[in-house]
Structure 1
């Protein structure tokens, strides 16, 4: 399968995008094995060089090695998240240990490490520019943190653990996806749809018909189905049924159960870093974060907990009182929260998702985000049907700067399907770097938004538009990259800094100047009424205390799992451990059969282990940074250029606090966040 394998040939398509339609599943393994072979020859050439080790022939050469392998692996694993199948998942389990072996072969190559160490110890870093110095530091520490100093026996153990972890994390995600896809709630009696908006009912009917249940309605655990059902369905018993199904994903003791996977992942992560001399996985992770230590993270989370708890408790009591006034009897449960919160919000502010949906047609929102990028950074987006895509739902754009020069390729992929995992994310198919040529990036955002139904186009909730802006902020971080080295380019930054470009962009959605660009009624073209914009602002802090507690609960649970030391690692009961970790944040009683850990892909499959606190950490940064835009104008060119040049384009080329201070003129303070969220 090497001859005419499209993955081994130059990508002869616009902007060297992968030729998706030509790639078959059987192409991946032989291509990756061949590219590993050639990449290891590159590494051997660097290691065996008779020339004295220098920055260029060792550090830079390493960064530039294996580029084709990286691109092919990115194509495969991106599609395994966005357009997978059982066969692809099986192949991922096969390829993952092979790629882990490859990585270990580089990072534990003693001869290569000796050259890296020689350059590191002999180089006067004051003579290097900031980016070169960062690459040297990151390369040297990367070897140390990957076991280069271990004994041969421990290197072997480290490699075995790394392989097992890679497979367990893949399996964890597969189980969550399988559970999400498997659940279907079929409704036959229209009376059970009471309270649901027409658009949601139409979507449920279309889903049912597509699954062979014509004349019925189907609800799933995909966000565009689950969320509005919990907010609007009058039938409390069905809300409970949906909630229990959602919160019990991968926690049923069957073949998709993730409890043992959670325990093994946590134990193996601790065992792996213990070999390197760390007491806990969080110690290892946070060494390379702005927060620096578990103590600082826990102090940060607990400080917010202290500030948010009184407000959250008051909000819960307010919703309980409102429900009682609506005739509700008994104890308010978690499956009642969204339903009565939505009604209370509507009563207080006369606003809800269904009022706003007609003004948030997806096509208009996309045009709006493009206009925002143009006003801030001079970017234009040109749809190019010649650029290959991996699914008919996906659109590809050529991104141009003010001079008409190519900046990036941008993919958008917005609707749920069975081959796509839940949630929303930004990813890269090719990183930006320079080697005499400025190789421009290929970035993508993948979401699960409300699809079109019948004769209605895709109409988004406000939260979905917020998600669009969030992920597009990540995409800008990738698109505007201007680094010499791919390992420092775009979103390759400290994990608690990576959410700044995404979260800051959400702020524009509360500004009339931004909403006027795109929020127009999908039928009449009328702009969103000014009083609606004011209602969005007025209601922006509604139940903010509760939402803060929810985020803190996840952050505290993440830290609890990943701060375990060797003598604490034996966890018998996943749910009991989780409940203890989240106890201070609980505002309702425990629900039998509910478990978050077994479906928490962010920390057990993605890159947020010992890092979920980053969302709240970055809120401090984004609130503080946006205050500059608020003061000088949300489309102020001078401020936008400073943010682009000091934050977006710089990637991980310097310590993020230095980049932030260069933009802001000072370190961030929590004041702007407390003010914005009403917690001050």
Structure 2
């Protein structure tokens, strides 16, 4: 390419944000090639340094290496998830194994490992400050867990496994996106809209228009589209059709079938764990987590499972009674649960989502999330119009601290589209660090809310609102980071701790003070009536048996797959079926993420053997919010200050247990989780105490 590559040039625009308007697909291959070559040279120089290893010439140098690669990769993989196309997907298939190979070249470099190992052996004598000591410790652990110090043959095999897993993980995610993109349930006749509230009819019209069918109505496989349809549609035949398509993503039998991909990934992970000296992949993965052992994670999951299953079976009986009352001659099926649960909620609490949605506007809930951050941490948010972003629907805000100084740039990308993978997540285009000068973070929240009709506000369910607050909690964890070294910046913490700041933040959404201020009617501007608000809050623990069962089943299958010491040619669906039968999974409930589309654990390694972490972190968030409740002030300044210091700004500068105790003043109380989910009065509640040993 004769012209300069904008990926590699200095970014001099506002906030030094990526100039998205200048990037094209053809920039990425040469951009990666140049950035990889640059870091290879940097690593070679560190490893070959004739001077004895010091923190600065080894760890400091590692932290300064790969700057160009970080920039190119952050832009590329954010686009690959949030606004991809055929060209980017082809590059992703090429670059994922190349990056894995590059990572292996670093962590399996024997000369480099020996320098890190020598420093770790003398860590207490190096005169390091607390953060430097922590960074050195984490580097040494990372090298060991990647195979540093192993024989050459084992290292070569580990590199090959890593490369193959990167290829498979990319294919898995792209297959799920393809299945979601290819499916559309078109609601052809007026009777196909039976039961749908006006806001959902408008969203279905917009979905159809976005997919080239103006004047029609349609449901996609985005969770924000299909779940409300399953909740309200009076057409049982259409609910079944949509649900089956949703549940069968990744196992359609064609080119996008993920079953063999998942099976091979399980096999390779088991082999990797054995090479590293662990009994199973789950043992390997949890050894560097708060849980420490699979038994600890399983202890929590099983103790919650017993109570949740009993609650869910009671819920199922109540739904079956509703079917009978209506004259239905069928057993409640998975495509019926949400529909009849909505009817039951109306009967029990005089509450339905169609009544609350008009008060839950996306823009007002964004304001609510910002307001909460202001009250807790003194942050303010100023929307930017001068920063070109990667999609017209994305928005950006400068984040300003209580001292008036800029803290971060925040990007919000809220609407579902066919170029975006499903789900909701936080990521970064640039992480915070102070090494060689202050570098402010650029953080993005990506969600998949269904767009409303043109000129209509986007109205959310209460679950959607929770998702928004959850991801913004992650965003704050990245934006408030205040460390020197990028290796421990922001959300680079233990997997079963990373969900704590995000899940904790959800609690503020449910506070009357927040809802009274921001839950206002999209037409009249009137606040949600107090009686409706109280009914909404009183129903918070409704259907918790179902919600806990669908989550916990997924977490148990994840751990079960990765506890297989010799998985061989495992049939992942047969394993899933057998595990659910052993657990006594209610027939009317399906795992929240069935194995062939379980992107948390197969689209990369992020949550493999770690889906349990949401529940583990929920002990922390439930107990942590009780600190504010006990004080009588949900914005208590002293508690918020400790939360900022020990959690949101600390990155991985402290061990998670130490960080939590610094915030709370003690270890967490597991019973808080049961209280939050309304399971505290169920049999066996006392056994949860054993899971935190």
SS of match in other structure, 1:497: helix
Alignment correspondent of 1:627: 626
Structure 2: how far apart are the matches of 1:595 and 1:113? 38
Q: How does 1:259-298 map to 2 (within 5 A)?
A: 259-298=259-298
Alignment correspondent of 1:481: 481
Alignment correspondent of 1:669: 669
Alignment correspondent of 2:146: 146
Q: Any conservation in 1 of the 2:425–2:445 contact (CA below 8 Å)?
A: yes
Alignment correspondent of 1:612: 611
Aligned CA distance change for structure 1 residues 594 and 248 (closer, same or farther; 3 Å): farther
The one of 565, 575, 581 aligned to 1:577:
575
Aligned CA distance change for structure 1 residues 45 and 564 (closer, same or farther; 3 Å): same
Q: Any conservation in 2 of the 1:554–1:582 contact (CA below 8 Å)?
A: no
SS of match in other structure, 2:448: coil
SS of match in other structure, 1:517: helix
Aligned CA distance change for structure 1 residues 125 and 515 (closer, same or farther; 3 Å): farther
SS of match in other structure, 2:396: strand
Alignment correspondent of 1:174: 174
Alignment correspondent of 1:587: 586
> Displacement of 1:525 after TM fit?
1.1
**Which 10-residue stretch deviates more, 554-563 or 96-105?**
96-105
> What is the CA deviation profile of residues 218-262 of structure 1, one whole-angstrom value per residue up to 9, with x for unaligned ones?
221112221111011111111111111110111121011001101
Alignment correspondent of 1:316: 316
Tell me, yes or no, if structure 1 residue 464 matches structure 2 residue 456: no
User: Unaligned stretches of 5+ in structure 2?
Assistant: 681-693
Q: Any conservation in 1 of the 2:47–2:111 contact (CA below 8 Å)?
A: yes
Q: Any conservation in 2 of the 1:125–1:133 contact (CA below 8 Å)?
A: no
Structure 1: how far apart are the matches of 2:131 and 2:214? 60
Structure 2: how far apart are the matches of 1:360 and 1:126? 55
Structure 2: how far apart are the matches of 1:13 and 1:418? 30
> What is the CA deviation profile of residues 628-662 of structure 1, one whole-angstrom value per residue up to 9, with x for unaligned ones?
11122111111111101111100111110000001
Q: How does 1:210-221 map to 2 (within 5 A)?
A: 210-221=210-221
> Displacement of 1:55 after TM fit?
1.4
> Displacement of 1:397 after TM fit?
1.0
> What is the CA deviation profile of residues 273-306 of structure 1, one whole-angstrom value per residue up to 9, with x for unaligned ones?
2211122111111011000011111111111112
> Displacement of 1:520 after TM fit?
1.0
Aligned CA distance change for structure 1 residues 594 and 622 (closer, same or farther; 3 Å): closer
Alignment correspondent of 2:240: 240
Alignment correspondent of 1:156: 156
Q: Any conservation in 1 of the 2:123–2:133 contact (CA below 8 Å)?
A: no
User: Unaligned stretches of 5+ in structure 1?
Assistant: none
Calculate the aligned-residue CA RMSD, in Å. 1.7
Structure 1: how far apart are the matches of 2:589 and 2:352? 29
SS of match in other structure, 1:439: coil
> Displacement of 1:415 after TM fit?
0.4
Alignment correspondent of 1:660: 660
Q: Any conservation in 2 of the 1:427–1:444 contact (CA below 8 Å)?
A: yes
Structure 2: how far apart are the matches of 1:3 and 1:53? 40
Q: Any conservation in 2 of the 1:120–1:136 contact (CA below 8 Å)?
A: yes
Aligned CA distance change for structure 1 residues 2 and 580 (closer, same or farther; 3 Å): farther
> What is the CA deviation profile of residues 571-604 of structure 1, one whole-angstrom value per residue up to 9, with x for unaligned ones?
1x3222111222315111698x998100110111
> What is the CA deviation profile of residues 124-158 of structure 1, one whole-angstrom value per residue up to 9, with x for unaligned ones?
16954332222111111211111222222222211
**TM-score (norm: length of structure 2):** 0.95
> Displacement of 1:188 after TM fit?
1.8
Alignment correspondent of 1:643: 643
Q: Any conservation in 2 of the 1:550–1:585 contact (CA below 8 Å)?
A: no
Tell me, yes or no, if structure 1 residue 519 matches structure 2 residue 519: yes
Structure 2: how far apart are the matches of 1:300 and 1:202? 42
